[in-house]
């Protein structure tokens, strides 16, 4: 799952300082009379968008380098020093295949947030009323518990207004990839996916509900 | 989604101290020549088990109080003081419906870990060779990136050796619930689920692959 050009180097592990994205905390409470403590992080809710291009009959997905996936793919013995050998572990082990997605951190509706992500990451300019929310699930039930909102949207070639790729200023390097219905079926059948379980859910949901639709 | 008896009270938010489960860190690296920093937590890999009781034709699932889901369901204004009003927000908003699952933190095979979770949480004693791993996905691709391993196992009534319920000494309070195939179909169709996206994935996968199987 190579990306066109991706170089990752000089990686080290440091202590988390004040973060806009990851806020660790503990909850202390009494459950049925017993004291409990639960460690977690406060993060943002998210939107995930299944984009189906009905002109091309392709699912529009994204590949990107996910630092957390990269780190978690490295055996403990090779990361405990705090220095990661990026020549031993190529960045490809941290490249995921996902639906277009983003966090909900602006004062906008979920559908509007979804609309913006589709434009930024995939380059399609889609009217907000075309976004259909079909599932709200919970992400990281153990450590996060936030809402993960799944949308479905159909696009056409003439809505494509730019190349997508994410916000370069924010360090996003996103590659837009197209999956045929047969690609999607094969990906669901494969045992090992460098993708969230929500991606598999979305693919299976799409195949059941929409996969036979024609333009 | 009430549980038989669940009282949660006297909840406050405190700073995360040294934790066995949530280890915050930052990755600092250079990506295509640009310095980046990524905030995340180090957590454990997990196993999730779809259990189908072929005697009763029921999926065996679990309900439990998830503190992180409870916290994340409360509006920011009502949690920023650090004191949570547990009379205003009933514990039911933090009760999830999930497949049996657990973290991989012992020196055992994934299938053996799955076997132990099924016994502890659901009370079925199942030979390890019956566990079929059908998917490895990535959890929390933004903040965790760990492996989420999905197994399928068929059980029979005569494998039921105890009531399940989790490890009470570790504070687990788990209720075993049975879903018919029609319940599963309805849950997939519902828009709002207090469940992980991986639960929806597992339900849809089961319905496609196994849902028509008879004893």
Residue A41 forms part of a structural domain: no
CB contact under 8 A, B193 and A24: no
- Encode pLDDT of B14-27 as tens digits: 999 989 889 999 99
Task: Tell me the mean pLDDT in the region B28-35.
Answer: 93
Which letter does DSSP use for residue B61 in this model? E
Residue of B nearest to A191 (CA): B135
The pLDDT value given to residue B214:
45
Segments forming the whole domain that contains residue B99: 46-210
3-class DSSP state of A66:
coil
Rounded to an integer, what distance in angstroms lies between the CA atom of residue B168 and that of residue B171? Answer: 5
pLDDT at B62 over 60: yes
pLDDT at B197 over 60: yes
Nearest Cα neighbor of A68 from A105, A3, A22, A6 is A22
The pLDDT value given to residue A91:
95
Task: Tell me the mean pLDDT in the region B49-54.
Answer: 98
Give contacts of A 87-106 with B, CB under 8 A. Answer: 94, 96, 98, 103
* Interface contact A166, partner B, CB < 8 A: no
Nearest Cα neighbor of A207 from A186, A178, A176 is A186
Residue B190 forms part of a structural domain: yes
The pLDDT value given to residue B4:
63
Query: Mean pLDDT in chain A?
Result: 93
Q: Count structural domains, chain A.
A: 1
Reported as a pLDDT band with limits 50, 70 and 90, residue A215 is very low
Task: Tell me the mean pLDDT in the region A50-61.
Answer: 97
pLDDT at B172 over 90: no
Element (H, E) at B211: none
- Encode pLDDT of A63-78 as tens digits: 999 999 999 999 999 9
DSSP bridge pairs for B147? B138
Structure tokens at B171: 């504070």
Which letter does DSSP use for residue A209 in this model? H
Rounded to an integer, what distance in angstroms lies between the CA atom of residue A9 and that of residue B34? Answer: 10
Mutate to test the interface with B, among A61, A64, A144, A165 (most CBs of B within 10 A): A144
Neighbouring residues of A208: CB distance < 8 A, sequence distance ≥ 6:
B204, B208
pLDDT at B215 over 50: no
Residue A40 forms part of a structural domain: no
pLDDT at B157 over 60: yes
Residue of B nearest to A8 (CA): B31
Q: Give contacts of B26 with chain A, Cβ < 8 Å.
A: 13-17, 19
- Encode pLDDT of A6-51 as tens digits: 899 999 999 999 898 899 999 999 998 999 999 999 999 999 999 9
How many Cβ atoms sit within 10 Å of the Cβ of residue B130?
A: 16
CB contact under 8 A, A14 and B36: no
pLDDT at A165 over 90: no
Mutate to test the interface with A, among B33, B67, B166 (most CBs of A within 10 A): B67
Mutate to test the interface with A, among B132, B140, B192 (most CBs of A within 10 A): B140
Residue A46 has phi, psi (to 5 degrees) of -140, 160
* Interface contact B200, partner A, CB < 8 A: yes
Residue B23 forms part of a structural domain: no
The pLDDT value given to residue A214:
45
> Between vectors from CA B46 to CA B42 and to CA B51, what angle results, nearest 5°?
165
Sheet with B23-31: list strands edge to edge.
A83-84, A8-14, B23-31, B34-42
The DSSP secondary structure of A69-125, one letter per residue, reads: HHHHTS-GGGTTTSEE-TTTS-GGGGEEEEEEEEE--SSS-HHHHHHHHIIIII-B-
Task: Tell me the mean pLDDT in the region B108-132.
Answer: 97
Choose among A11, A67, A194: nearest Cβ to B40. Answer: A67
Rounded to an integer, what distance in angstroms lies between the CA atom of residue A12 and that of residue B29? Answer: 7
CB A50 within 8 A of CB A206: yes
Residue A215 forms part of a structural domain: no
The pLDDT value given to residue A129:
98
* Interface contact A113, partner B, CB < 8 A: no
CATH number of the domain to which B204 belongs: 3.90.79.10
pLDDT at B207 over 50: yes
The percent helix, strand, coil of chain A (3-state, each to 5) is: 25, 40, 35
The pLDDT value given to residue B170:
64
Query: Mean pLDDT in chain B?
Result: 93
Q: Which of A48-52, A81-85, A208-212, B64-68 has the lowest mean pLDDT?
A: A208-212
- State how far residue B15 is from chain A, nearest Cα, in angstroms: 5
> Between vectors from CA A145 to CA A143 and to CA A146, what angle results, nearest 5°?
130
pLDDT at A95 over 80: yes
Reported as a pLDDT band with limits 50, 70 and 90, residue B3 is low
Residue B9 forms part of a structural domain: no
């Amino acid at each position: 799952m190579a990306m066109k050009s991706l170089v990752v180097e000089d990686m080290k592990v440091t202590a988390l300082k004040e973060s806009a994205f990851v806020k660790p905390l503990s909850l202390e409470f009494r459950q049925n009379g017993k004291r409990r403590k639960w460690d977690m992080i406060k993060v943002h809710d998210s939107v995930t968008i299944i984009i189906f291009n009905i002109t091309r009959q392709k699912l529009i997905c994204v590949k990107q380098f996910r630092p957390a996936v990269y780190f978690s793919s490295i055996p403990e013995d090779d990361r405990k020093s705090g220095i990661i050998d990026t020549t031993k572990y190529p960045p490809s082990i941290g490249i995921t295949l996902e639906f277009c997605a983003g966090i909900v951190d602006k004062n906008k509706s979920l559908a509007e947030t979804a609309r913006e992500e589709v434009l930024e990451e995939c380059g399609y300019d889609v009217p907000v009323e075309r976004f259909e929310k079909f599932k709200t699930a919970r992400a990281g039930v153990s450590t996060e518990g936030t809402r993960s909102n799944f949308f479905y949207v159909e696009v056409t070639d003439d809505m494509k207004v730019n190349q997508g790729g994410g916000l370069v200023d924010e360090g996003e390097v996103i590659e837009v990839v197209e999956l045929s219905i047969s690609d999607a079926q094969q990906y669901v059948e494969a045992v090992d996916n460098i993708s969230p379980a929500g991606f598999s859910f979305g693919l299976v949901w799409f195949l059941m509900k929409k996969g036979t639709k024609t333009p």
